[in-house]
Structure 1
Amino acid sequence: MLDKSSLLQGISRYVERNMINGSFLIHRALLRQLEEESRQGLVTSDIALEEINRLKELSERYLFPVEIVGSPGGSVEQELRDYCAERGCELLTADEVQRKVSEILGIKVKFLEPLMEPLTIEKFFDGSTMSVHLKEDAVPKAKKGRPGDWEFIVLQDSPLSSQEIKKIVSEILNSIRWMKGSFIEIERKGSTIVQLSNYRIVITRPPLSDGWEITATRPVAKKKLEEYSLNPELIRRLESRAEGILIAGSPGMGKTTFAQALAEHYMKLGKIVKTIESPRDMHLPPDITQYSKNYAEIGELHDILLLSRPDYTVYDEMRNDEDFRLYIDLRLAGIGMIGVVHATTPIDAIHRFLNRVDLGTIPGILDTVLFINKGSVEKVYSLEMTVKVPEGLREADLARPVVQIKDFLNDKVEYEIYVFGEQTMIVPVGRLSLNTVENRISRAITSVIPGATVKSERGEYVVEIPKGEISKFNRKVNSKLRRIEKKHGVKIRIKLQDEESQE
C-alpha cells in the first residue's frame, strides 16, 4: 500500500532498480486527496499523480499489478492503516512519523531509505553560479559572478521539456527527507518554496505561471564582517551604540550576506542573536536560532522573542505592514533590531517607516542605516532628533522638532525630516542649503540684470541693483523672486546699490 510520501520519494526509481517488487495498492482516499490538492495548485500532489502514472507504465513493462482499492473516507493516513490492518498488506512509506505510528499499531510497514543520488539541479551550478533559471520550452540559464557584477549565461542550447522540469522537481522533493537542513518552506496554490540544504528553490506551475519553472539560488560566498573593510568608527558604533539598524539595497546587491556577517559578529561578541526569515535562507551557526514567519503567527513570534530576550534579532526581507509593525514593536520593547529591506537609495528605506510611526519616535527605532551596493557598504546614515528652524526656513518662530539624517563618516547633515502643516517633509539639506537658495536668487536676477548682487543680512536676502539697471527690474523678475520666497520660506528685499529702495 502506497502513501503520499512514498510517491514523492519516487517509488518508480526503486522498482526500476529491482529494490522493491510485488503488487502495489493505491487507496481511493489517497487518490481523492491528491486530486483535490492538485486542483488547488499544490505542486507536491501534481508530482505524486505523475509518479502514479510512471508506476503504471512500469507495471505494463515489467508485468506487475497496480490496483486501486478501498473507498474514499475520512483521514487518508487512517484509511491506509485500517486497510492494511484488515488485509494484512504492507504499508510503504518514506514518512518517519507514519512508520512509527504504524509500528505501534502492529501494522506491517516498509520504510523507503533514500537513494543517495546526485541531483540534476546541482549539475547546473559551479563555483561562480549565483542562481539557475529553468523553464519548460526555454533553454536553461544562470547568473554567474558576484552581487553587483554578474552576467547571464546560457547553460545548454536545447530547451527543457515539461517532463524534464517535472523530473527535476520530483528529485528536489524526494531529496528533502535525506538532505540535512532541507524542508518545504511554503506551499501555495501554484507555487512551492523549498530550502534544500544551501539552495533556495522556487517552483511555480500553471495556472500561476505560464509553464513549469524552477529558480534556484545559492550563496556564492560567505563573508565575515572583517572582510568588508569597514571604518573603525562604524565598527565601534555597531558594537556599542547601534540597536536600530536598517540594511538597505537593491535586490541581489548582498544585503542578506552582510546581515549574516553582522549576526555572526554579534554572536562572537557573546550576544544572543535570533533571526526572522521568510523563507529561511541565511546560513548561520547553530548558536543562532532561525525562526520562519511562515510557520508562526506574528503574535507568536512577538511573544517568543520578548520572552527569550535576544540581544539582537535579524529581520530578513521586511516587505509589508505586518513586518514593519513587528520590527517597530520589538525595537520599542528594547530588543536590538537589524532589518533588511529593498530600496534603491538609503533615504527610500527610511521613508518606508514615516507613514508607520510618529516622527518623534523614529530616532528611537532607527539609529543606523547601511546602504549595500555591489556587495559593499556604500553609505551609512545616523539619525538624531533636535529642535531647530529647518534648513531653508528663516523665521525663528518656525522652530520645531527635526530629525537630522547625517552621513555617519563625515557628520554632515544630508536630510532633515519635519512636519510642515500636516505634511511630513523630507528635505535634502545639501541641495537646499542657504548658499543654494542664494545661488537661485542670484541666477534669477543676474540673467536679466547682470550687475545685481545678492547677500544675506539679518535673516533675509538683499538684492542690490545698480541705478543704471533698475529699469530692467520688471514684473517677470519680481514674480521669479516671489516664487523663490514662497518655495523656500525666505524673505527677499530689493534695494539700489547706492540708495536703499524697498520694493
Structure 2
Amino acid sequence: MENTVFGLAFKISEEKIYIPDYSGIVQGILTKMIDEGKVSGRVLIHKGLVTVFEQLSAQGKAIGMTGLEEIRRLRLLHEKGLIALELIGEKPRTGLKEEEVISEINYSIREHARSLGAILVTGDPIQYRIAQAYGLQVLYVAPKEKTRLEFEKFFDQETMSVHLKEGVEPLAKKGRPGEWAYSVLSSKPLSKDDIERMANEIIEESRRRSDAFIEIDRVGSTIIQLGEYRIVITRPPLSDGWEITAVKPVRKLKLEEYNLPEELVRRLGERAEGILIAGAPGMGKTTFAQALAEYYMRQGKVVKTIESPRDMILPPNITQYSKNYADLGELHDILLLSRPDYTVFDEMRYDEDFKLFADLRLAGIGMIGVVHATSPIDAVQRFIGRVELGMIPSIIDTVIFIRNGVVDKVYDVKMTVKLPTGLKEAELSRPVIEVRDFLTGELEYEIYTFGEQTVVVPVKKLRGKPSLVDSIIENVKKILPDAEVSFEDNVIVVAISRSMLKNYNRRVKRLRKLEEKYNIPVKIKIV
C-alpha cells in the first residue's frame, strides 16, 4: 500500500514507524536491532542527517563516514525486504554551526515523530528526556557495558600497542618500556575494507559506552579514548592509507612498586609541588604520573588531571578534564575555583600548556607536568623563553626523568645569587638557577643570562676549561692582536688606537660574526 503522498510521510493503522535521530544513526542502533529481529516496519531517515554526514565526510571526519555507512546498511536491509526505508524532511539551513544544524534536525525529527505517532530512536540521554517531555514513544538505548571489538583480538597481556594499516601485515609492539620488539601478527596484509570496518566499529562503540570519548575528530584523523585503549585513526589525504594505532598500558603500578629512595618519597610527600616528569616517548612517563596521582589521592589530597586525550586509568575520586573539550581559559577558571591540591597536566606540548601550568602553580596549586625530553635538563629548558627565567624555580622544584619504565634521574631546581662557575670577575655575580642531582647534591647545570642570551651551562664539562668570557676575549685578540679587550657591564669593550682603525675596518665582519655567535655586544673604544 502506498504510504507517501507528494513526498509527505503518513501512518497506516497499526503500522510501526521508527525515526532515528543523529545519535541513533551514529551509534548503529537500528541495524543491530533489525539484525536481532527486534525491529521491523518502516524506517524514516531525515534528509538533513544525510546532508550533515555528507558534509562531515567531505571534511574528512570519521563521524560523517560512520553515519553514511550506517545509512548504507539500512538501505541494504531495505533491499532485503526487512524494513521499508524512506527519506523525509528538508535539508538544513546553510550558515549554521555543526552543533546548531544537528540540534535543528533533531527538533524536526521530534516533530515528525509526534505528528506520525512514530517511535523516536536515540542513544542520547538528553534527547530521550526531551522526547519524554513531549510524550513521544521512544526507543532509547543507553550506553552499554564493554564488548570485545575486532581490533582487540590483536592484543595479549604483553602487547603495548598494535599497528594496523591497509596493505600491510598487522604489527604489535610487545614487551615493556625500554625492552620491547615488533612482532608480525599475521602474514596476510589487511585490506582497506578491514581497516574501515574496524574504524567504524570503534567509532560506533565510542558513541555508546560511558567510558569512551572521541577526543579529536579532524580532517584525516580521529583520536579516541576507548576504555583503557588510546586509539589514533588516520586516513587519506592526511596519510597515504587507512591506519589504526591502538595503545594499551601493559601494567598499572603503584608508587611503592617503583622502589624509590626514601629521600625522594619524603620529598614528594612534603616539599615537591612543582614536579616535571620527563622522558622519551614510550618510556613510562604517563604510567609514573598515574601512580603519583593515586599516591596523592591516598594521602587525602584532592587531585585532578588535564589530559589530551584522557588516557590515564584512574579511580573515580580523581576528576579527569579533557583539553579538547574546553579552552585553556575555561580550565584555568575551573581549577582556580575548585582549588585541587594537585593537578596532573599530561602531555604538555604547546606554549599555552606551559603558561597554564605556570599560572596554576604560581596560584598555589601543586602541579605535576608530563613532557617529552631526551635528557633531564631538556625538561627545564622547555620553560625557557616561555616564562621569566627568574620564575622557573618558583614553578619547578623537582624534575623526575623516566627511562625504561624506572626513575633514572631526579633534579632539584633552586635559585641563588653567585658568580657562575667558570667566570672570574667578582662583578659578574648574578642570579643563577642551580640544577642539582637530588640524591647526591652534586651541581650539574647552571642557568643564567649572559648579555642578552640565556645560557644553560653543564658545570661538569666546564670544570678545568676556560670561562666563556675568557674564550670571547681570546677570540677578539686573535682578530685584533694589539687591542686591549675587557668585559664591562655585559659588553665586550675593544680599545684600539686611531692608527689601528684601518685594520679594524678590514676585520669588522669577523667581529660581527663573533657578536652574533655569543649574542653579546662588542663595543669599539678609540683611545
SS of 1:65's equivalent in the other structure is strand
AA at the equivalent of 2:330: E
> Structure 1's 18 and 115: CA in aligned 2 closer, same or farther, altered over 3 A?
farther
Of the candidates 64, 67, 78, which is equivalent to residue 59 of structure 1? 78
Match of 2:294 in 1: 264
Q: How far off its partner does 1:431 sit? A: 0.6
> Structure 1's 26 and 416: CA in aligned 2 closer, same or farther, altered over 3 A?
same
1:228 paired to 2:258: yes
1:77 paired to 2:96: no
AA at the equivalent of 1:70: G
Match of 2:439 in 1: 409
1:68 paired to 2:87: yes
Q: How far off its partner does 1:61 sit? A: 2.5
Q: How does 1:21-420 map to 2 (within 5 A)?
A: 21-62=40-81, 64-73=83-92, 75-112=104-141, 117-420=147-450
Q: How far off its partner does 1:142 sit? A: 1.1
SS of 1:20's equivalent in the other structure is coil
Q: How far off its partner does 1:87 sit? A: 2.4
Q: How far off its partner does 1:254 sit? A: 0.3
AA at the equivalent of 2:444: E
AA at the equivalent of 1:81: R
More displaced 10-residue stretch of structure 1: 6-15 or 287-296: 6-15
Match of 2:485 in 1: none
Query: Where in structure 1 are there 5+ consecutive unaligned residues?
Result: 442-482, 488-503
AA at the equivalent of 1:92: V
Contact 1:186 1:294 in 2 (8 A): yes
Tell me the distance in 2 between the aligned counterparts of 1:298 and 1:258.
24
AA at the equivalent of 1:345: S
Match of 1:9 in 2: 27
Tell me the distance in 2 between the aligned counterparts of 1:163 and 1:62.
25
SS of 1:313's equivalent in the other structure is strand
AA at the equivalent of 2:118: C
Match of 1:456 in 2: none
> Structure 1's 26 and 235: CA in aligned 2 closer, same or farther, altered over 3 A?
same
CA deviations over 1:329-383 (Å, ceiling 9, x no partner):
1111111111100000111111111111222211111111111000001011111
Contact 1:29 1:79 in 2 (8 A): no
Q: How far off its partner does 1:243 sit? A: 1.0
Contact 2:22 2:106 in 1 (8 A): no
SS of 1:67's equivalent in the other structure is strand
> Structure 1's 293 and 116: CA in aligned 2 closer, same or farther, altered over 3 A?
closer
More displaced 10-residue stretch of structure 1: 273-282 or 131-140: 131-140
CA deviations over 1:234-282 (Å, ceiling 9, x no partner):
1111111111111100000000000011111111112111111111111
> Structure 1's 421 and 59: CA in aligned 2 closer, same or farther, altered over 3 A?
same
More displaced 10-residue stretch of structure 1: 336-345 or 21-30: 21-30
Cα RMSD (Å): 2.2
More displaced 10-residue stretch of structure 1: 42-51 or 170-179: 170-179
AA at the equivalent of 1:132: V
Match of 1:495 in 2: none
CA deviations over 1:219-247 (Å, ceiling 9, x no partner):
11011111111111111111111111111
Tell me the distance in 1 between the aligned counterparts of 2:20 and 2:209.
22
Contact 2:192 2:242 in 1 (8 A): yes
Tell me the distance in 2 between the aligned counterparts of 1:202 and 1:406.
39
> Structure 1's 115 and 88: CA in aligned 2 closer, same or farther, altered over 3 A?
farther
SS of 1:176's equivalent in the other structure is helix
Tell me the distance in 1 between the aligned counterparts of 2:321 and 2:145.
30
Aligned length: 442
Contact 2:255 2:295 in 1 (8 A): yes
SS of 2:167's equivalent in the other structure is coil
Q: TM-score normalised to the size of structure 2?
A: 0.80
Tell me the distance in 2 between the aligned counterparts of 1:20 and 1:9.
16
Query: Where in structure 2 are there 5+ consecutive unaligned residues?
Result: 1-18, 94-103, 471-513, 519-527
AA at the equivalent of 1:342: H
Q: How far off its partner does 1:115 sit? A: 9.2
Tell me the distance in 1 between the aligned counterparts of 2:208 and 2:328.
30
Query: Percentage identity across aligned positions?
Result: 57
Tell me the distance in 2 between the aligned counterparts of 1:340 and 1:65.
54
> Structure 1's 419 and 53: CA in aligned 2 closer, same or farther, altered over 3 A?
same
Tell me the distance in 2 between the aligned counterparts of 1:268 and 1:382.
25
CA deviations over 1:440-488 (Å, ceiling 9, x no partner):
x9xxxxxxxxxxxxxxxxxxxxxxxxxxxxxxxxxxxxxxxxx9xx99x
Q: How far off its partner does 1:178 sit? A: 4.5
Contact 2:128 2:138 in 1 (8 A): yes
Contact 2:355 2:387 in 1 (8 A): no
Tell me the distance in 2 between the aligned counterparts of 1:51 and 1:324.
42
